[in-house]
Amino acid sequence: MTLDRLRPLATRLLDPWVAAADRLGLTPNGVSVLAFGTAIAAGASFALAGAGAEALSVPDLADPLWYAVGATMVGINGWLDLLDGALAREQEVASDAGDLLDHVLDRYADIVIVAGLAAGVGGATGYALGFAAVTGVVMTSYLGTQSQAVGLDRVYGGLVGRADRLAIIGLVGFASAAVPGAVAGGLGLVGWLLVFLAVVGHLTALQRFWGAWTRL
């Protein structure tokens, strides 16, 4: 289960966007920075959707519709994350430096988004789930690139890749905005999303580790 297998199709769909970005004079690094900006906006929106707004002493801002805003920003982040690489290839400026910047900003983006979800849940439960989720997310990505560092191919597969994760977060964000009172087992939809990210994230990291280990 991974949307990363659809990268070739997504790349073809990106052609008009790449051409537009090139005409506007955007650079791949600039697009990477814009993508990170949308991740910050997503995290802030998720935080404002619930307990995070009250923790900031601005409870009037607490509104489930912020989840829809956050979900939209997550979708844009994922699209821009594809666009920067395609733009680099189009402009023939792909470099190790650009790849490094992209991956560093992606990891910070993942952290900001999950932290925002945890802040929206609030309380000790929210932050405990957030910690478990963000470590799973970061380790998944780390194992994908560490495989390359030891001489193997970069790993994008596994139970849940970044594309899958962003898609699921977006769907749950829209669902939480549409059904703000949805609760299951004492946790809202976002709480269960954090549980999912924690469990599947660590399982995916272990899956990638084992796949690399058996090839060394």
**Structural domain of 183:** 3-213
For the ranges 52-61, 91-100, 118-127, 150-159, the lowest mean pLDDT is seen at 52-61
Contact (CB, 8 A) for 48 and 61: yes
Task: Say yes or no to pLDDT of 185 above 70.
Answer: no
CATH number at residue 65: 1.20.120.1760
Domain count, the chain: 1
- One-letter amino acid identity for 189? L
70-86 pLDDT tens trace: 999 999 999 998 888 88
6-30 pLDDT tens trace: 566 666 777 788 888 888 888 999 9
pLDDT in the model for residue 87: 86
More confident: 67 or 51? 67
Give the N- to C-terminal CA distance of the chain in Å, as an integer: 24
Categorize the per-residue pLDDT at 41 as very low, low, confident or very high, splitting at 50, 70 and 90: very high
89-113 pLDDT tens trace: 888 888 888 889 998 999 999 999 9
